[in-house]
Structure 1
């Protein structure tokens, strides 16, 4: 009698699992290599959390690959099922590590990170600081980057604030996610002396900055004097609780924080909040990190957009000091 298909197919399952394991292990090593080669500057100058995950992924990929080559294939059974589940989780982990690769800062942001006679630059594992050479006027700006964006990408657009006399602190977020850096503002206030603070952020960073500015008042601590949105908006209604002055800077060609969304955010902010719209600017022009998926197409140059965004930010902070 001819063999049934079940017994004939059974021996293939362990072999296929071994091949799949080797593929996932190889993908893990490849993703780590790709992230390091294509985003080395952002990896080295970013929050160390991503470096740790890359190292763990590399070690895990090598160990799993070697074990898959040396050990005999697992036979079908509960342990085989467990290995299949773990393999699926490992594949999802590799995809996550690839997705977390940051958008890398490009010029002129990198040049703006260099100190000169006007601005001193210091860098730590969780932040960098742009300090006016004369010590500043006692006003500091704390800034949260957008999701997965190299923190250095905002140096050029924020440096004019330091040149105007205001200390600037930019957070390096764990894995580039602002929600994982909700305590960064408190850390900055402990580390950087200032008489008043302005909290700001780009995109998701602005949403978290709004939470931090609102929470500062709720905790009974000196509230932030100002809240600065770059292509961003609050997650909820702050119109009755937020005591800080608000400036929202947005672009007409933004495909992520769209003009309609920014306009709708007016109802969630206190009366008297000001809105500056940069005609022709897109989402990624609020930093220097190249194009971003889902964004609109800008109709003005990066230099023009950066100049207008910086000018609006400086005018807002200067107005708080005066």
Structure 2
């Protein structure tokens, strides 16, 4: 119960605005805690079999709580929250499973599907991605079950039929989300309708060699002070990407500056402001998407 209270107090926004799966996990934890308390208050002296079951239950319970803590979301912060507001240029719609940014003016036929990083509130990317919508591109940000990108690996296939005006999709993602985006783009770049027409990495790289199978343009945007997707790891990924892949390094940017959700364990220390980093990341992304045929 204390773990659930702690999660809700510290990351309430991420719980409420995240995929419902994590909220369900918290609810199950509460129910299990109550049942455990009721059984414990009965005070029966356990036999050998019952004692063994209790030990197993304790081990499983500790593991469950550790998993709950590990998956605690990184809640979105400003200026991402402000970017979630609709205005004369962009309409923002949020549901339990996704965020959609739609240009209010002419809509380009190239859209962007963006996979968030692990356990990061999808809203955290609103500010860095909003310039794409302002440039005329529909932007869809899936809310991943339990904050794990691999559990949303079908997001592109689920999105394409619902946006008839978008004839091609740039698949993008941050950190683990970028790894999943690479899988989705590699599978969909030859689709007969609404194919993947580009791939963007935000502080990320592919898990496997797709240099011979991926046929669409690729942009990798990284930070020189990233302590997670380090410059060395990003540079090593060149061999796994098509020869024409473009690499843009934001000097002084850290891993967490690709979204707006606060500091992240293991990250480097940035030497530029979050506003400066975000402006450079957005500019590179808009230029890449705008230049696609």
Q: If the TM-score is normalised by the length of the shorter chain, which range does it land in? A: over 0.9
Q: Quick check: 1:223–1:243 contact (8 Å CA) kept in 2?
A: no
Q: Report the equivalent of 2:67.
A: 96
Supply the distance in 2 between the matched residues of 1:98 and 1:72 (Cα, whole angstroms). Answer: 31
Aligned length: 292
The alignment's C-alpha RMSD in Å is 1.2
Per the TM alignment, residue 219 of structure 1 is displaced from its structure 2 partner at its CA by 6.2
The one of 98, 105, 114 equivalent to 1:143 is 114
Partner Cα separation in structure 2 for residue 96 and residue 305 of structure 1: 32
What residue in structure 2 maps to residue 17 of structure 1? Answer: none
**What per-residue deviation string (whole Å, max 9, x for no partner) do you get for residues 211-242 of structure 1?**
00001146666531100000000011111100
Unaligned runs of 5+ in 1: 1-28
The equivalent residue for 2:56 is 85
Once the two structures are TM-superposed, the CA of residue 184 in structure 1 deviates from its matched residue by 1.0
Which aligned runs of 4 or more in structure 1 are off by greater than 6 angstroms? none
1:72 aligns with 2:44: yes
Contact 2:190 2:196 in 1 (8 A): no
Structure 2 unpaired stretches of 5+: none
Alpha-carbon shift at residue 181 of structure 1 (Å): 0.5
Q: CA shift at 1:94, angstroms?
A: 0.8
Secondary structure of 1:121 counterpart? strand
Q: CA deviation at 1:188?
A: 1.1
The CA distance in 2 between the partners of 1:253 and 1:260, in whole Å, is: 11
Q: Distance in 1 between matches of 2:107 and 2:158?
A: 20
- Answer yes or no: is 1:188 the counterpart of 2:159: yes
Structure-1 residue corresponding to 2:274: 302
Which SS does the other structure have where 1:122 is aligned? strand
Question: Helix, strand or coil: the match of 1:255?
Answer: coil
Q: Note if 1:247 corresponds to 2:219.
A: yes
Say which SS state the counterpart of residue 185 (structure 1) adopts. helix
**Corresponding residue for residue 93 of structure 2:** 122
Larger radius of gyration: 1
Find the counterpart in structure 1 of residue 135 from structure 2. Answer: 164
Q: Relative to total residues, which structure has the larger helix share, 1 or 2?
A: 1
2:236 is aligned with 1:264: yes
Distance 1:41 1:233 in 2: 29
Structure 1 Cα separation of the partners of residues 195 and 223 of structure 2: 28
Residues 123-155 of structure 1 show CA distances to partners (whole Å, capped at 9, x for unaligned) of 121111000011511211000000000000000
